[in-house]
Amino acid sequence: MLGYRHAFHAGGGADVLKHTMLVFCLKYLCQKEKAFLYIDTHAGAGSYDLAGGYAEQNKEWKTGVAKLMEKAGKITQSETPSVINDYLSYTKTAAAYPGSPALARKILRPRDRIVCYEKHPADFLLLSELLSHDCGAEARNADGFEGLKSLLPPPSRRSCVLIDPSYEMRDDYEKTASAVMEALRRFPTGLYLVWYPLLVLNGAGETLRDALMAMYSGNRCCAELITGDKRREIGTKRGGLYGSGLVIYNPPWTLKAALEETLPFLADCVSAEHCGYGCQWIDLRSPAQ
């Protein structure tokens, strides 16, 4: 949807969940020398000025990344989950809030490749400028759902894919499920992160989550962060958004312990009245793998 701008929600609770997990996964993949491909199907502008523009209208960052920084600033680094420390190391030093493309650009190595899709013409121009100085990074003004198919499987046989549509259009839920199914068919061993909203007005997010967890028989997990009171979200600007989640396919085995440590910390920081979190982990590997 070309009217949607991620800047309205930059740095909010959904971004905090999504970006902490993305940072963990990208840094994990970088532990091996072999190059990998990062694909962002709905990249947005790439980075966002929280002090003005669209981000200033909803100010979601004040109950998201700002709350996280506030709590982390009151305790020692050793008391803060390492996942949070890693994430904040990129946000604290940035002139603007780094979206997923900016985080990938900071973390990935010269030998790795970044391909980001964005259909909105204005956001695409900003994204292109952000990535223009990296020879291994590319912005494409095209449909990320369609573009994903052409990139899988990657020559390196290593990839991280973030699927993060706006869900402003009802058929985004169906498109996401179809795109994931096709991606898994082409490259079942890739690392995939699929974000979804939790809305009071419909159960589409929960339905998508259940479908995503059921369509793959390999290692997978689901992590949710509840950031609002469902009773109070009815009639709000976001249509009753009370939280969000990620389904992750082929997650790093070390992510389980990281989630157990990180999700309670995030919920305590960014959830209204400490509404909570949820996690489901299905892993066929032994802990030693």
- Helix H, strand E, coil C: the string for the chain is CCCCCHHHHCCCHHHHHHHHHHHHHHHHHCCCCCCCEEEECCCCCCEECCCCCCHHHHCHHHHCHHHHHHHHHHCCHHHCCHHHHHHHHHHCCCCCEECHHHHHHHHCCCCCEEEEECCCHHHHHHHHHHHCCCCCEEEECCCHHHHHHHHCCCCCCCEEEEECCCCCCCHHHHHHHHHHHHHHHHCCCCEEEEEEEEECCCCHHHHHHHHHHHCCCCCEEEEEEECCCHHHHCCCCCCCEEEEEEEEECCCCCHHHHHHHHHHHHHHHHCHHHCEEEEEEECCCCCCC
**Segment 111-131 mean pLDDT:** 96
Model confidence pLDDT, tens digit, residues 32-43: 999 999 999 999
- What pLDDT is attached to residue 11? 86
In a domain, 158, yes or no: yes
Provide the CATH number for the domain around residue 161: 3.40.50.150
CB atoms within 10 A of CB 15: 27
pLDDT over 60 at 288, yes or no = no
d(CA 193, CA 251): 9
CA-only gyration radius of the chain, Å: 18
Is 164 annotated in the active site? yes
Q: What is the pTM for the complete model shown?
A: 0.93
In a domain, 1, yes or no: no
Model confidence pLDDT, tens digit, residues 233-276: 555 555 578 899 999 999 999 999 999 999 999 999 886 665 78
Of 31-40, 87-96, 119-128, 210-219, the one with minimum mean pLDDT is: 87-96
Number of folded domains that form the chain: 1
pLDDT over 50 at 289, yes or no = no
In a domain, 287, yes or no: no
Catalytic residue of the set 143, 164, 172, 283 = 164
Model confidence pLDDT, tens digit, residues 50-86: 876 665 666 788 888 989 999 988 988 899 999 999 9
Only one residue has tokens 């839920």, namely: 173
In a domain, 167, yes or no: yes
In a domain, 134, yes or no: yes
Domain that holds residue 40: 6-282
In a domain, 83, yes or no: yes
pLDDT over 70 at 224, yes or no = yes
User: In this predicted model, which residue has the larger pLDDT, 18 or 135?
Assistant: 18
In a domain, 149, yes or no: yes
Model confidence pLDDT, tens digit, residues 166-220: 998 889 999 999 999 999 999 999 999 999 999 987 889 999 999 999 999 999 9
In a domain, 288, yes or no: no
